[in-house]
Amino acid sequence: MTAPSNREEPKRRAASVVDVARVAGVSHQTVSRVLNDHPSLREATRQKVLAAMRELDYRPNAAARALSSSRSRMIGILSTSSGEYGPASSVAAVEAAARARGYSVTIANADGLDPRSIDEAVNHLANLSAEGLVVVAPQIQVLLALSKLSIGIPFITLQAASADPTGERPLDQVVGARLATAHLIALGHRRIGHIAGPSEWLDAAQRQSGFQAELTAHGLPDGLIVTGDWSAASGYDCAKELLAGGVTAIFAGNDQMALGALSAAMASGLDVPLDLSIVGFDDVPEAAFYRPALTTVRQDLAEAGRRAVAQLLGESDVAPSVRPQLIVRASTAVPHNPAPDDASETSAGK
């Protein structure tokens, strides 16, 4: 019986550029051109080199590539998310879109209300030679801080092109809010309240802007607005205040606050949707399982992330924004007790 050997098996040497060149039958300079996406290569040559890489299980050295090409192939994400569904999902979407294009991603988190924290996060990404930044930071203070920095790195933000809530934005929050409000108006609601998100958030400002714009477009007075903090608990308290104001419908700035509004309606002995209609925003995975299932606005965050990365990399023919979609479920209906002006409008239309 042979005694077991204590010697470790020698590690297999990782394949090099020279090895790939030998198997592909090209020069090592040609392999380097393939690695750096050089535009002058013939497609047949490119495919021959890629086949050799697969055969040898070649793994390019990212640090060496960055030094030789002066490109890091790294995208930085500036995030101020503290766990909210929309920003967290957006970060994941941008990361997936960057990886699909052969870019690595580094995330720097900052306090969205602290200019110094934002400055430190941006400079951290710049020091890592990020080729560009995607800003997933919904606070107005972030854009103000970025406008004062001279970092020399292109960036794009998912929230807005500027602090102006009517500006161009990859995620069109204003259109989403208008869809939600128009749905309630079409059902016959005229006393509509809005639970807004925190005032320092761009998302909240844009959704409130869309809500007011749709009321104005239908000749309705400004709606009753109260401000929450995105949590279900704040949605509960805000809904109680809106109910005291006699609303028959509530548009909540996110699905969590809509969940709180559903609970407030139940605690007040109201039936949703017979006595009160509720619309949320985000279409979180649980929204279809609320009781009743929540009517809400869905944003295609994956597509928004793809377009943001495409715009950052200078790809042409990229639409500037992703249109949201209204998802109608069981939490909205024709008002059970319409206002007197509702009744007159209905009879006038017959």
Does residue 230 surpass a pLDDT of 70?
yes
Q: Which of 21, 49, 24, 22 is nearest to 34 (CA)?
A: 49
Q: What percent of the chain has pLDDT over 70?
A: 81
Lowest average pLDDT, out of 34-43, 184-193, 219-228, 279-288, goes to 34-43
Could you give the CA distance from residue 126 to residue 129 in angstroms, rounded to a whole number?
A: 5
Number of domains present in the structure of the chain: 3
Residue 265: its H or E element:
helix 255-267
**Run of H or E residues at 78:** strand 74-79
Q: Is 10 part of any domain?
A: no
Q: What is the pLDDT of residue 67?
A: 42
The average pLDDT across 236-261 equals 98
Domain that holds residue 101: 74-157
Q: 267 versus 113: which is more confidently predicted?
A: 267
Instruction: Give residue 13's pLDDT.
Output: 63
- Which pLDDT score, from 0 to 100, does residue 342 have? 45
pLDDT at residue 77 greater than cutoff 90: yes
Lowest mean pLDDT among 66-70, 89-93, 331-335: 66-70
pLDDT at position 347, please? 33
User: Per-residue pLDDT tens for 94-125?
Assistant: 999 998 888 899 999 998 888 889 888 988 88
Total residue length of the chain: 350
Average model confidence (pLDDT) across the chain = 84
Residue 125 domain-assigned? yes
Q: What is the mean pLDDT of residues 232-259?
A: 98
Which CATH number covers residue 41? 1.10.260.40
d(CA 275, CA 266): 10
Q: Reduced to 3 states, what is the DSSP secondary structure of residue 280?
A: coil
DSSP 139-200: BHHHHHHHHT------EEESS-SSS-TTS--SB-HHHHHHHHHHHHHHHT--SEEEEE--TT
Instruction: Mark whether 146 and 188 lie in a shared domain.
Output: no
Q: Which of 126, 157, 188 delimits the end of a domain?
A: 157
Asked if 78 and 203 sit in the same domain, the reply is: no
258 neighbors 294 (Cβ within 8 angstroms): yes
